[in-house]
Structures are given as structure tokens and as C-alpha cells.
Amino acid sequence: MNRFEKILRFKSNLILLILIILFSADSYSQLHSINLFTDYSVGVTKRLSVTEADALGGGVGVYFKVFDYLTVGVVGSFKMFSINQDSALTQWDWYFWDVRYRGSVQADLADSALALSATFNPIQKMDFLPIMLTFKSSFNLFENFSASPVIGGGIVFYTRRLYLEEDWTRKFDAIDYTFSYKYRNFADDKTGNPFFIMGGLNITYRLGEVVSISTDFNYNHIIKTEGKFGYDQLPFSDSYSIKLGLNFLY
């Protein structure tokens, strides 16, 4: 079995384990809480000439009490990253722009008879969907407050998207009129599903018997993988996230 097959089998087994936990009647009888949360994330160790990468998002976590001191969670979320990247068009390696379109644009702008001018602004977004297993142990700080170190890991499914926002103007001197128009050119998406690991801290305040609020600080590391899992096109390898959540206790 080669490395690709081993990684693929591991991913399949991880997804199967998550499904078993979610749908096991025995696990349901140990259901501890359901957490709904919002999330703000920032890329820390940036790559590929990326200068900024931050996101807003949200998700849900389902937690099961395994022992008195250990809770296992299945957490899924969605984040929308905005990305700034130096030389974004060059970095993207966009065949349509590099081979077919850029030359035509340069020729049109150089033709004085057309009296054209244009600005080009590449915009990048990234859909980021991590699914992970977490393990945490809670300690009471004082009345109604608890702290929980958290570790975990899983798979992130991402789609990076780039479009070129073009603003064109053409001046007609004979009638003293300037015509303006704009449109977007969309590049091919970049996708992947690498592994990641996470460590962090959860602080919870209990409001009552069935409800609590919480905040989390997590540090996430994408595991470097070769081949078709998309690590090479991720704009960062490390990130942190801050979460605010509402917990329903069972």
C-alpha cells in the first residue's frame, strides 16, 4: 500500500468513526451538550506571498461524556476567508489570463485609437470547512466557571476562489463623452482536503441547568502532505480562531 492509499484509508476511517459516534445509540445516551458558535479566524504562518487572511464563520459541536473527566466532541464549521496576495494573478497560474486574455488586454490598452483605460483588481475568497474530533477535560475555576484544555484534529475541505474585477473606460473626444463599464472574470477554483491538528482552551460560564455560554481560543496547524490533498495551495499553514458559543446541556 503506497502513501496515497494509506492517507485515503485514514480519511475514510476518520469519517466512519465520526458517523459511528453521531449515530450510536450508546453514544446518544451519553450526550453531554450541543454547542452553537460564531468564529473569527486569522492565518498566522502565511505562504505563497499572502499578506492577509482572515475569516468569519460559525458552526456546531456535539459533545459526548466518555468519562467524568473526558468529553469527546464532533465539530463542524464553515468559514469564509478573505485573502490578500502579492502578484495574485501570477501566483494563481491562470491559463486563460496568462495565455489567452492578457495579451489582448495589453494590445487594446496600447491602441491609442481606442482611447481605452482600465484597472484590474484580483479578489480572493476561500470557503473553509473543517470537520474534527476534539477531546477536552474540564476543571472548575469557581462558581459556574470552568476551564477546559482542548486538543483535536481532523480534515479541512477548502475551495479557493479568485475573480478579476475589471473597470474599463473609453473616451469619445468627438462628443466629449466617457463610457464606463465593469465586469468580473472568474478563474478556475483551487481545492483540497488536508489534515490538521488543533490545541486550545475553552472557558464556560453556566447560566442555568440547561444553558451555558463559552469562549474558545484555538491554534490550528495544517499537516504538510504531498500529492492531491491541496496543501501546496493553502495560503497559510497555521491559524488561530476565537469562538463565542451557546451551549445546550443534557
Percent of the chain with pLDDT over 90: 64
Question: How far apart are alpha carbons 30 and 24 in whole angstroms?
Answer: 10
Contacts of 78 (CB under 8 A, 6+ apart): 57, 58, 59, 127, 128, 129
Q: What is the pLDDT of residue 228?
A: 79
SS (H, E, C) 51-115: EEEEEEEEEEEEEEEEECCEEEEEEEEEEEEEEEECCHHHHHCCHHHHHHHHHHHHHHHHCCCCC
Write the pLDDT tens digit of every residue in 145-193: 999 999 999 999 999 999 999 999 999 888 888 999 898 999 999 999 9
Q: What is the mean pLDDT of residues 33-58?
A: 95
* Dihedral of the alpha carbons of 152, 126, 4, 76, in degrees to the nearest 10: 30
Residue 13 has, within 13 A of its CA and on its CB side, a CA count of 6
Q: What is the pLDDT of residue 25?
A: 45
Beta strands at 116-136 and 139-142: parallel, antiparallel or unpaired: unpaired
Contacts of 102 (CB under 8 A, 6+ apart): none
Q: What is the pLDDT of residue 8?
A: 55
Q: What is the pLDDT of residue 114?
A: 86
Enumerate the domain spans of the chain. Answer: 3-249
Write the pLDDT tens digit of every residue in 69-99: 889 999 999 999 999 999 999 899 998 888 8
In this predicted structure, the answer to whether residue 65 has a pLDDT above a threshold of 90 is no
Grid cell listed for 200 = 486550545
CATH number of 3-249: 2.40.160.20
8 A C-beta contact, residue 57 and residue 41: yes
In this predicted structure, the answer to whether residue 28 has a pLDDT above a threshold of 80 is no
Q: What is the pLDDT of residue 76?
A: 92
**What average pLDDT does the chain have?**
88
Q: What is the pLDDT of residue 53?
A: 97
Q: What is the pLDDT of residue 5?
A: 57
Write the pLDDT tens digit of every residue in 9-26: 555 555 555 555 555 545
